[in-house]
Amino acid sequence: MKPILSQWAANPFYFKDYGLEKDIDVSFCGQVYGDRMEWLDGLKVERYGKAQPNGMVEFKDLAKIYNRSKICINFSKGSNGGMQIKCRPFEITASKSLLLCEYVEGIEDYFEIDKEIVCFKTKEELKKKIAYYLEHEDERELITNAGYKRTIEDHLWKNRFDAIFKEIGNG
């Protein structure tokens, strides 16, 4: 029997639209490694996590930070420096926030870039897109809502398990 591969997804019991006030302009939740802090240096970003200014956040509170944020940043480099699609894009979009994601090959298999999520490749592009989407609320909301809808329809763990069980049943 061949292995069945799947992608990350969002857990809708944690990551959902809590309907909270969008009182955080831009947030980043994650560890300090690689060049992440160089990318964020000089940008007004609320940072959460080990060795971050706002400190550690319990998992159950992560979605509420995302839901309170107008924009959430996701870096695609892992701690080893390699690029990868992580769970964060699915969690952020399920929490109804605009995902500003470091481009990683294959992300377009899950989201339509600039229609459901927004990607960046350089620090300058990250800075410009933050400013643009904070200023253009209507456009930000359109992309946020489209990313949320896509995740709820296609990228919950139920979707992943349904596909796996279908594959097993057809095997």
Percent pLDDT > 70 in the chain is 98
Q: How many domains is the chain partitioned into structurally?
A: 1
The answer to the question of residue 148 being in a domain is: yes
Residue 39: predicted pLDDT:
94
CATH number, domain of 36, equals 3.40.50.2000
What is the domain extent for residue 120? 24-170
pTM, to two decimals:
0.94
Residue 139: predicted pLDDT:
98
What is the average pLDDT across 24-45?
Answer: 94
The answer to the question of residue 70 being in a domain is: yes
**Given a cut of 80, is residue 163 above it in pLDDT?**
yes
| Three-state DSSP state, 141 | helix
pLDDT band at 81 (very low <50, low <70, confident <90, very high): confident
Cα 33 to Cα 62, 75, 80, 130, distances in angstroms: 19, 11, 9, 22
Minimal CA–CA distance to 69: which of 81, 54, 80, 84?
A: 54
The per-residue pLDDT of the chain, averaged, comes to 94
